[in-house]
Amino acid sequence: MLLSSPSDTTSTSSSITPMIVTHSGQQLISIADISSAASMGVFYVHVEMAILDEFQDFCVLECSGCKQKKRTKDRKDFDCPKCNRKTSLVPRCSFQIDLIDNTATTTASISTELGEKLLSMIAEDIFDITCTKRQSLSLNRVHEMLSTKVFEIHLRKSSWSSSNTTTTTLSILSYMEKQHTPQSATDRTSKKIKPLEISEVEVMATTAAAAPSNAVGKFEPPTPTKKV
Ligand SMILES: [Zn+2]
């Protein structure tokens, strides 16, 4: 299985060019194909999300006028060359999040309301913790929430060139928790659900099989009656 997958991805990446993305039948793409695809644009993926870098700032400061990101953590008023006046800086939630599917892992950026919603925090509080108090965010609850969910994510792949290097970035435009139960039970979705149920049964069966051996182990300690 694992050995055959690399050849699969190389063969599919060549046929990826005529990809159609529609709002009704969103064509999904794997993380491996996103990374290898030369084309820029908007993609849909079904992935798990994880915040692997817990020590990032989770926010940036931007000009309250033009919303341009500033390379500072100092929140004093400044003369914005773009706005051509003195403006204040406001924090904006922004961080790196890792997207994982069964093909690969990649890092994307998530910001503003989307990021705040994911962290259940507002940018002002995030700034206060990570930049003013210089502490790290406590993400235990976020990790826990993310670990059990699969998301449908609308991603934008873009790139820009400076001197000789081209930087490619992925940014999350929207995300939606993927429901385990289909909202509108069509034949197609109900068929897709069936294998999931089987795998859940298998998981339950293995845990059930493991339970008796634990129980036996627990019963053993009181038994050494030979000592008495
Ligand atoms: Zn400005």
Q: What is the DSSP string of the chain?
A: -TTTHHHHHHHHHHT-TT----SSSPPB--HHHHHH----EEEEEEEEEE---TTS-SEEEEETTT--EES----S-EEETTTTEEE-EEEEEEEEEEEE-SS-EEEEEEEHHHHHHHHT--HHHHHIIIIIS------HHHHHHHHT--EEEEEEEEEEEETTEEEEEEEEEEEEEPPSS-SS--HHHHHHHHHHHHHHHHHHHHHHHHHHHHHHHHHTTT--GGG-
CA of 131 to the centre of ligand 1 (A): 21
CA of 63 to the centre of ligand 1 (A): 5
* pLDDT for the residue numbered 27: 83
* pLDDT for the residue numbered 38: 79
CA of 89 to the centre of ligand 1 (A): 9
Superfamily of domain 19-178: Nucleic acid-binding proteins (2.40.50.140)
**With a cut of 70, which residues of the chain have pLDDT below it?**
1-25, 180-228
- What are the pLDDT digits (tens) for 18-28? 454 444 467 88
CA of 76 to the centre of ligand 1 (A): 13
Q: Model pTM greater than 0.85?
A: no
CA of 92 to the centre of ligand 1 (A): 14
* pLDDT for the residue numbered 118: 96
* pLDDT for the residue numbered 222: 55
CA of 93 to the centre of ligand 1 (A): 18
CA of 82 to the centre of ligand 1 (A): 5
* pLDDT for the residue numbered 162: 83
